[in-house]
Amino acid sequence: MVEKTVKKKNEDLFARCYNGSGYEYRGTASKNRFNDECLPWDSPLLRNHHVNAYMKDAFKLGIGKHNYCRNPKNGIKPWCYFNGPTGVTRMFCKIPKCEENKNTEPTCGRRQQKLYKIVGGMNSPVESQPWMATLYYIIREKQERAALCVWCHEFPEPKDYAIYLGKSHLYEENMYREQRFLVEKIIRHWDYSDKTGALNNDIALLKIRSESGQCASMTDYVQTVCLPLADLKLKDGTHCEIAGFGKETFESSGFSENLKSTSVQLISQDICQLPDYYGKLINNNMFCAGDPEWKVDACKGDSGGPLICQHNGKMVLYGIISWGDNCAKMNKPGVYTRITNYIQWIKDNMAEANNVHHMLKLTCHCDSPGHYEFIDTKHV
């Protein structure tokens, strides 16, 4: 009698869909979106993973000696582990969402995995920055390399580029995580300028499409980031995250092959415009962010990466890594494109792009790999 009661609480044989985020889903679906069989939560392969049958409150969260899909951390939707060609991987499950009243609340700015602590820059799984996109230059059919960006050519050709979503490593492929798209259109800001040494209006948009015509699929590794409201003004000192494939030090000979992430704080405009900082080079289209101890910073090759801040429970694209003097140099913090100044520009150009499903916002320069942010276009 006790055994039957326990089983009923932990399993629902009649659940054919999930509600909300699926946190309370107790159905028996056990395959990921590629139809691969999930690993049992008590598998020895999961001993060193954060979620397994041996974790605290496992039973309460629906985790046990089975391989049914669950969402114990209340992320985006139910998921499971499976043993793929590259080892144990986490992926969303093949379960439909139950029909419910349409909700206009945006689902952007959410991620399945958070970095609990970021100090001095560290390798970051793309699940922690799922809005990252990487630009590749198509050398010839079936051969690509990380691109040096669209600003490097006076008349960039969209057909010469490909975009990858869900990448943690520049030169390794993972068919279970990555999604590849072609570039259909490049929209550069009409008033971009680097005449003063600072980069003004350092922003562009890419319209992307897949060869099959399908839109991007939202997964653990691919999500949209929220755009801020045009009047959003975060307080000085706010902690935000930056990410990219840039150099680990200014003297490094090459760029990082792995996605890296760190934390910086917003610096007041008055301080950033001091003569010891950047003086008159800084205008209202830019802002500064850095580390009070000058130990971490964006560096050469990170240009175009996101500066993400949490606001109202969502991760918001507040700035774009743009330029700076050296890396982690005292009184020379990173300078970022102020996204709130370009919300109307983004809206206007998306409207002209005709039925745009997905757009990528970018800034980048000739000395760096291309970094982009996958933005939510339904709620701008």
Distance of CA 338 to the CA centre of its chain: 18
Which region holds residue 313: left if phi is over 0, alpha if psi is between -120 and 50, else beta?
left
How far apart, in whole angstroms, are the C-alpha atoms of residue 31 and residue 169? 26
Segment holding 311, helix H or strand E: strand 306-311
Active site residue 202: yes
3-state secondary structure of 17: coil
173-203: per-residue pLDDT in tens?
887 788 999 888 888 899 999 988 899 999 9
The reported pLDDT for the residue numbered 91 is 87
How far apart, in whole angstroms, are the C-alpha atoms of residue 114 and residue 30? 24
Q: Which residues of the chain have pLDDT under 50?
A: 1-9, 115-120, 148, 150-151, 153, 355-357, 363-369, 379
The dihedral sign for the CA sequence 169, 43, 64, 25: positive
Count of CA atoms in the C-beta half-sphere (13 A) of 317: 32
How far apart, in whole angstroms, are the C-alpha atoms of residue 334 and residue 328? 8
Q: Which of 153, 217, 268, 348 is catalytic?
A: 153
The reported pLDDT for the residue numbered 365 is 41
Neighbour-count burial of 291, counting CB atoms closer than 10 A to its CB (0-12 exposed, 13-18 middle, 19+ buried)? middle
Length of the chain equals 380
Q: Which amino acid is at 44?
A: P
Q: What is each CA distance from 166 to 81, 179, 208, 222, in whole angstroms?
A: 17, 7, 15, 5
Output the six-digit token pair for 159: 């057909």
How far apart, in whole angstroms, are the C-alpha atoms of residue 342 and residue 339? 5
Are residues 207 and 356 in contact, defined by beta-carbon separation less than 8 angstroms?
A: yes
Are residues 183 and 353 in contact, defined by beta-carbon separation less than 8 angstroms?
A: no
Q: Which of 303, 358, 368, 376 is catalytic?
A: 303
Neighbour-count burial of 297, counting CB atoms closer than 10 A to its CB (0-12 exposed, 13-18 middle, 19+ buried)? buried
- Which residue from 123, 138, 121, 23 is spatially nearest to 71, judged by alpha carbons? 23
Output the six-digit token pair for 169: 């490593």
Active site residue 367: no
How far apart, in whole angstroms, are the C-alpha atoms of residue 202 and residue 196? 13
Residues 154, 157, 162, CA angle at the centre, nearest 5°?
Answer: 125
Are residues 362 and 370 in contact, defined by beta-carbon separation less than 8 angstroms?
A: yes
- Which residue from 380, 370, 285, 263 is spatially nearest to 335, judged by alpha carbons? 285
Are residues 337 and 324 in contact, defined by beta-carbon separation less than 8 angstroms?
A: no
Active site residue 153: yes
Q: Which of 202, 297, 302, 376 is catalytic?
A: 202
List, in sequence order, the alpha helices (H) in the chain.
Answer: 2-10, 269-272, 343-352
